[in-house]
Amino acid sequence: MKKTDWYKDAVIYQIYPRSFCDSNNDGFGDINGIISKLDYLKDLGVNCVWLSPVYCSPQEDNGYDISDYYNIYQRFGTMDDFKVMLAEMHKRGIRLIMDLVVNHTSSEHDWFKQVVSNKDSKYRDYYIFKKGKKNGKKPPNNWTGFFGGSAWERVGDSQDYYLHLFAKGQPDLNWENPKVRSEVKNILKFWLDMGVDGFRCDVITLISKKQDFKSRFPALALCGKDAYINGPRLHEFLQELDRDVFSKYDVMTVGETVMSSLDEAKKLVDPKRHELTMIFNFDHTDTDNYMGVKYLRKKFKAKNLQKVVTKWQLSLHDCGWNSLFIENHDQRRSVGRFGTCEEYRKEGAKMLATLYFLLQGTPFIYEGQEIGMTNAHFKSIDEIVDIEAHNMDKLAKSNIFLRMLIHGSIFDVSRDNARTPMQWDDTAYAGFSSAKPWLRVTDNYKSINAKESISDPDSIYNYYKKLIEFRIGNEVIKNGTYDVILKNYKNIFAYVRKYKENELIVICSFSKKDTRVKKLEKYNNYEVILSNYKDNLATILKPYECRVYSKK
């Protein structure tokens, strides 16, 4: 088997299966629904799909709680459906990367069920159990998890607690146990032998924990994070997976890294170290919050985004590979974010697309992003399904300090903003299903939908199509250097990419107003090859204007 760099020419489309397309009209997306939309993806031009989890799961965290890694959740379809989908993707030149969720299982996984019913089960050491304090009345330490509250759950009225960094129904696996690592490798081989092309590795930087399990200095969020993020054996575990599995297949891996420093990230993606192909870091999506906590919102500044993006572009050039994204199933929609607004939806969406697509790395598009889907504008917690938002809402209601701090943000930053059903057309339920969907459709589906976007030559969809076509195989985008230009303009993020004789200049305005930029005259002899406006003025950028110049 020869390892190739196919991922460098990949444009990856993320499908959140329960929200993508419902073929059997039960209000819940499924694999046959995905199959029915593969020509849509082919037409868009993407050549790889990242599929959020479709494995058996009680769906407490929408599939990120897996109860059987070797089977498909029945509402999504069957293993045969899955195999047909994979073959149909490959037939169209579309690769498939699966979501690998192995920091934790579901509490409904057979291993965990056995442990709870029998203390002497051989699976006991698959999980992290510790004795509680005060005869079991208090958790073993003060660590808190990602969905708020203690990271420990007591087992009945015993003295034992298990660690769960996410929901109670997501017990963390004990990676110190070689048997756990060997189970993970078997899972990987099972799917790779079936023909999948790689994995997006969920919260991979949490798999190794410091083994002292002592309380830490109290913190507002993620107390104990120094013990469970980027733990001491992380790199060793990843190298083991590579040695025993990944190195034997022509695959790519993208690790989700929560709060990883650049130094840590460089180690993870350094090809010489054989750990991961690339990572999703959230430095850029965290530019509008404090301390990486999305509920603590701060004013967005284009220059902060520029600083972070530049740091990653320069640091990984020639010694790693970036992933590029502005949306996913955990983030709110980008329309109305990163300094843009719904009033200039099309201009803003195209500008953001241009900005991140022409950087060095592999771009990801999250379903609906390509047609400029917006946030849902929830008005009540009852409209939201996501466990994270519900946990946060409970926390806020129980504590006045937290209420003041985060309550105003819960609806706006809720992950369900990105999880509303895909808007296919202007018929009932946006053509996603003919039955009431599991989560409400966003009101604007009559005007914002795929059907309309495909037919409008000036749509966001058709702009993405152009960008994708332009990008695949383009050596400047793939290999070129990166430099910031027009540094002194507060609302402009502009850069130049250079490779051999070729040059691309990308100029993006984050302003809602016209901006005079005398220095644009310098590019009078260049050709504008892409823009979100039909006419570009010599020295003025219109609201959210972007333009890409190429040297003639």
Q: Where along the sequence are the contacts to ligand TEU (CB under 6 A)?
A: 61, 64, 101, 146, 166, 202-203, 256, 258, 294, 329-330, 388, 415
- Name the catalytic one among 60, 240, 256, 386: 256
Cα–Cα distance, 472 to 478 (Å, whole number) = 8
Residue 267 or 294 having the CB closest to ligand TEU: 294
Residue 82 or 146 having the CB closest to ligand TEU: 146
Residue 221 or 314 having the CB closest to ligand TEU: 221
Instruction: DSSP for 131-161, please give it.
Output: EPBTTTTB-SS--B-TTSSBSEEE-TTSSEE
Contact 163, 172 (CB under 8 A): yes
Residue 163 or 541 having the CB closest to ligand TEU: 163
Q: How far is the CB of 61 from ligand TEU (least distance, A)?
A: 5
Q: How far is the CB of 27 from ligand TEU (least distance, A)?
A: 21
The per-residue b/e assignment along 316-341, b for 16 or more CB within 10 angstroms, e otherwise, is bbeebbbbbbbbbbbbbbbbbbbbbe
Q: Which amino acid appears at position 28 of this protein?
A: F
Residue 203 or 517 having the CB closest to ligand TEU: 203
Instruction: DSSP for 499-552, please give it.
Output: ETTEEEEEEEE--SS-EE-GGGGGGTTSEEEEESSSS--SSEEPTT-EEEEE--
**Phi then psi for 436, rounded to 5 degrees?**
-60, 125
Q: In what order do the strands lie in the sheet with 252-256?
A: 278-280, 252-256, 198-201, 95-100, 48-51, 12-15, 362-366, 323-324
Residue 281 or 449 having the CB closest to ligand TEU: 281
Residue 256 annotated to the active site: yes
- Name the catalytic one among 30, 202, 386, 545: 202
Q: How far is the CB of 373 from ligand TEU (least distance, A)?
A: 18
Residue 202 annotated to the active site: yes
C-alpha 138 chain-centroid distance: 35
C-alpha 205 chain-centroid distance: 15
3-state secondary structure 200-244: EECCHHHCCCCCCCCCCCCCCCCCCHHHHCCCCCHHHHHHHHHHH
Token pair in block for residue 354: 């241009």
Q: Which residues are catalytic?
A: 202, 256
